[in-house]
Structure formats: C-alpha cells, structure tokens
Amino acid sequence: MNLPWDRDTFTAKLREVGGRTYHDKHPFHVAMNNGQLTPDAVRGWVANRFYYQQNIPIKDAAIISNCPVREVRRLWLHRIVDHDGTQDGEGGIEKWLRLGEACGLPREELLSERHVTPAARFAVDAYVHFARSKPWQIAEASSLTELFAPDLMAKRIDAFRRHYTWIAESGLEYFTRRIDQAARDSDEALTITIEYCTSQEMQEAAVKALEFKCDVLWSLLDAIQIRYAPEVGFVRMTR
C-alpha cells in the first residue's frame, strides 16, 4: 500500500495538470486572445460557452447532494448563488446573458440553445454526469481548474478590450467579477481536496478528475472551433 503524498507534492501534481492541459493552450483560445477571431466566431464561443455556464450550478448542486459533510455543503453553497443569484438580474448567468447582448446575441437566442453544437452539449453533459456519479470529493476536485482561471480571466479582459472593441465594456462584467471569485473558489476547493483526499488512491483519483475537467473544456473548444473557426488549425492536447 502506497502512502499518501504530502501536501506540497499533492498540490504540485494538481497544478501540473494545468500546465499541461488547461484550455488556455487551445488554438481557438490563443486565436481569441490574439484578436484573430471574426465576430461570428466570438458569438459562437459566447453561445456555446453559455450552455456550460448554465450547467455550473447544476453541477455544484449535484456535488452538494452527494456530500454528507455539513461544513463542506455550507462552503460550497455560495457557488450556486454566484451563478444563479438570489433574484432576477443577479448572478453569473445573468452577466453572461449581458455579454451575449453586448456581442449582438439577444438573450432569448442564448436561452433557446439554438447555437449549441452537439459535441459541446455532449462535453458539458458529461461533466454534469461526472459530478452526479463520482464520490463527492472527486467531483469537487474537478473544479480545481479554478486554480488557473484568474490569470486567464485577466488576459481575456485585456484581449477583449484591445481586439474586440465592438463589444461594449458592460459585457465584460462576468470576467472582471470572476477574477476574485475564482481565486477564492480555488483556495476553498484546494483546501477541501487536500483535507478529504487522504489516501494516495483518492489523491490519484483527484488528479484524474482534474484531467477530466481539462478534457471537457478542451473538447468544448474543439466543438466551437470546428463550427466557427476551422481556419485556426488544430493541435492535440499533450499529456
């Protein structure tokens, strides 16, 4: 029986996943940050990513429903509120709808899901199924892509302001808010993962869960690129 990794080793193995497989390296994302996307491609990304945004609180509710630890449920609950709000006009989903409007996509069009590609839907639905079916500690660890999100958000905001000036500044509020939220959420998720993944078997499963989440995000961009920006070119994710 292998002994569990110490905290520093476990944390390093989790962070190393992002260095290899986080979707900031996807050619579509690189092209977006370099200002190389057409308005239609940006709108396609917004519409398909919105399907993912809508499912984040559903994923988090699944984690809570499987978790017997009251303190963890309390801590995790704010993630649902962050995205759904407590009333109309609040939350991250509402901010993403405003991003769509700033890009020229009426909210009714986003909510209809008419632009969601089958492959994007499959990737997102697979993530929700993962959260419902895996042990809560492992499902929770998949959220650790948030470790890498603050830097990505800051670069995305800069890219949109420099290259996509046709998008109103008000549409970027989701990204500006997520910089602080993602930093807080990743600290919480990392603390929970380290505390409750106490065997090497669980630790290895947590690392694989994070790899799976990176696969989901990469596959989502593959689906968007095939539909809206095939000229960018494809690369395989490195393992």
Task: Specify the pLDDT at position 153.
Answer: 92
CB 58 within 8 A of CB 133: no
Query: In order along the chain (239 residues), what is the average pLDDT of each group of 10 residues?
Result: 90 95 95 96 98 98 98 97 95 97 96 98 98 98 94 94 96 93 94 97 98 97 96 66
d(CA 14, CA 141): 9
Q: Residue 28 is which amino acid?
A: F
CATH code (residue 167): 1.20.910.10
Residue 226: inside a domain = yes
pLDDT at 133: 98
Q: Which domain holds residue 167?
A: 7-232
Residue 173 has a CB neighbour count (10 Å cut-off) of: 16
Q: Tell me, what's the pLDDT at 239? A: 55
Which class for 132: exposed (0-12), middle (13-18), buried (19 or more C-beta within 10 A)?
middle
Q: Determine, yes or no, domain membership for 239.
A: no
Phi, psi of 229 (to 5 degrees): -150, 55
Decide if 121 is inside a domain. yes
Phi, psi angle pair for 126, to nearest 5°: -65, -35
Q: Which of 144, 147, 158 is nearest to 183 (CA)?
A: 147
pLDDT at residue 25 in the model = 94
Direct distance between the N- and C-terminal alpha carbons of the chain, in angstroms, rounded to an integer: 26
Q: Is the pTM of this model over 0.85?
A: yes
pLDDT at 204: 97
Residue 210 to residue 18: CA distance in whole angstroms: 8
> 61-74 in b/e burial notation, b at 16+ Cβ within 10 A?
bbbbebbeeeebee
For tokens 């065997």, name the residue.
Answer: 199
User: Considering the domain boundaries, does residue 31 fall inside one?
Assistant: yes
Number of compact structural domains in the chain: 1
Residue 189 lies in a domain: yes
Alpha helices in the chain (DSSP H): 7-21, 27-33, 39-66, 70-84, 92-103, 107-112, 118-133, 136-141, 149-163, 173-196, 200-228
Any domain includes 237: no
Dihedral sign for Cα atoms in the order 99, 105, 111, 115: negative
Backbone φ and ψ of 166, nearest 5°: -75, -10
CA neighbor of 146 nearest in space, from 190, 195, 97: 190
